[in-house]
Amino acid sequence: MEEEIENDAKTILIVDDEQPIRDILVYNLRKEGYNTIEANDGLTAVDIALEKKPDLILLDIMLPKLDGLSVCKRIKNSLNVPILMLTAKDGEIDKILGLELGADDYITKPFSVRELVARVKANLRKVEAVSNSINIEVKKEEKKKESKIKVGDLELDLDKFEVKVRGEIIDLTLREFEVLKFLASQPEQVVTRETLLEKVWGYEYYGDIRTVDVTVRRIREKIEKDTSAPKILVTKRGVGYYIATK
């Protein structure tokens, strides 16, 4: 089911096969000023996401026709849209798999509507903040043509949202790009997982530091020659992570 869209509001795609849950989410998100579109199965969700390009997706794990994890993977292959997974109460494996496949966040059922709305706002705020900060940085450095960060083998193009390692373009999600950008902007500076969660994910109270660990592991699989002995994104045991200059 789709409802009329207001052009100036953010649009959220709600994917769940349970009508009562969709109704609750639609009601509360519209009350917060968001537009909503809906899908009740995985295949429809992929089609709608690619056609409508929503600003954020709420995605249930258990779906008919195509499960939520597969939906997440397919959408992330084409769109850099924040995806918030809705997982079962004890779905620890679902959470980790969702993050591995590129999900930006997760919340467990049964969930507090207040918490879910807070997560939606935080993820949308972060995307907007990153976009704004990059635009500001590019404008500031326009004359000097310094819209890039280069540390050792790692190079970030802030204008193109592009990452290269040893000259090879690496395909990262927006969240992965944000993590690398935050760390690369202060090379050799150790950053705690709590700080990354606050600065990159944008919330302090609902976050789980394991989210940071999973994202870092996913980044390493893409940029490191040997993930067991990382040379670019390094762990300072018991403290946090940093980008090495050599």
Angle between helices 92-100 and 68-78 (to 10 degrees): 20
- pLDDT score of 241: 95
Return the structure tokens found at 125: 């705020």
Lowest mean pLDDT among 77-86, 95-104, 120-129: 95-104
| Mean pLDDT over the full length of the chain | 85
User: What structural domains does the chain harbor?
Assistant: 11-126 (3.40.50.2300), 147-243 (1.10.10.10)
- Is the entire prediction scored with pTM above 0.95? no
Predicted confidence at residue 131, as pLDDT, reads 64
At 201 the pLDDT is: 81
Region 235-246: mean pLDDT is 89
pLDDT of residue 140: 58
Q: Per-residue pLDDT averaged across 111-119, rounded? A: 90
Percent pLDDT > 70 in the chain is: 85
- Is 9 a residue whose pLDDT tops 90? no
**Residue 30's beta-bridge partner residues?**
none
Band (240; pLDDT cuts 50, 70, 90): very high
- Bond prior to 230 in cis (omega within 30° of 0): no
Whether residue 12 has pLDDT greater than 70: yes
pLDDT greater than 80 at residue 203: no
- Give the residue with greater pLDDT, 138 vs 85: 85
Whether residue 223 is predicted with pLDDT greater than 70 in this model: the reply is yes
| pLDDT-based confidence at residue 88 (cuts at 50, 70, 90) | confident
Convert the pLDDT of each residue in 23-75 to its tens digit.
999 999 999 999 999 999 999 999 999 999 999 999 999 899 999 989 999 99
Share of the chain above pLDDT 90, in %: 50
What is the per-residue pLDDT for 123? 86
Q: What is the mean pLDDT of residues 108-135?
A: 80
CB count within 10 Å of CB 89 equals 9
